[in-house]
Chains A and B, each alone.
Chain A
Amino acid sequence: AQSVTQLDSHVSVSEGTPVLLRCNYSSSYSPSLFWYVQHPNKGLQLLLKYTSAATLVKGINGFEAEFKKSETSFHLTKPSAHMSDAAEYFCVVSRGYSGTYKYIFGTGTRLKVLA
């Protein structure tokens, strides 16, 4: 069965310092992995996706993630946090069945950015 584990429920960083949000996945075959962000009272916005083309994936707003098969990880990073990055972040793996792909979500990491 496929699953994702987000290792931290809350992360606090100072503005201008690096961000690391950790995600480990479990999959019996090559997974499709995504990071989504949810700002308060808003929907889920796609940050980036991994679909086996390149292990380092660049997304929007300066975020990137590296797929490491040996570590079954897909951690999200950003070199310098902005106040506007404060939100909840979800690591997602998609699982195909009968021609559609449902998402399996991690529990989320709430990022707090301190001034």
Chain B
Amino acid sequence: EPEVTQTPSHQVTQMGQEVILRCVPISNHLYFYWYRQILGQKVEFLVSFYNNEISEKSEIFDDQFSVERPDGSNFTLKIRSTKLEDSAMYFCASSPGMNQPQHFGDGTRLSIL
């Protein structure tokens, strides 16, 4: 069964550095999402992406965050200048159509030192 893949599984970065989290969604899916889960807290929506543009973003997704689909297969989340509070598990998801179930990757654990 096709799956969403995320790399790396664990990323350790110094505060203030840029980090890029990578995702390969399922190939025929059209809608892409990033969520995050801070340890001990709820899974929170960050951003949705369709037709090469952001459809919706949460208040968490400020100017430090950006997303890109650079080559038709990868979907990346960039954090320009990381803060300690960005430490979390980041999940990528994709779905084949509007309001179809989302398929999730295994996540990237981001640790900011």
* Chain A residues at the B interface, C-beta cutoff of 8 Å: 32, 34, 36, 41-46, 49, 51, 90, 94, 96-108
Using known A-B contacts A100-B55, A107-B42, determine if residue A49 contacts B91 with beta carbons closer than 8 Å.
Answer: no
Main SS class of interface, B: strand
Residue from A43, A94, A102 within 8 A of B107 (CB atoms): A43
Which B residues are CB-close (under 8 A) to A49?
A: 101
Chain B 90-110 near chain A by CB (<8 Å), digits 1 or 0 = 010101001101111111000
Count of CB-CB pairs between chains A and B under 8 Å: 63
* B65 interface hit (Cβ, 8 Å): no
Nearest A residue to B43, CB-CB: A105
Number of B residues, CB within 8 Å of A: 25
Residue of B nearest to A41 (CB): B106
In the complex with contacts A43-B106, A43-B107, A105-B44, A100-B56 CB distance below 8 A: yes
Of residues 1 to 47 in B, which have CB atoms within 8 Å of A's CB atoms?
4, 6, 31, 33, 35, 42-45
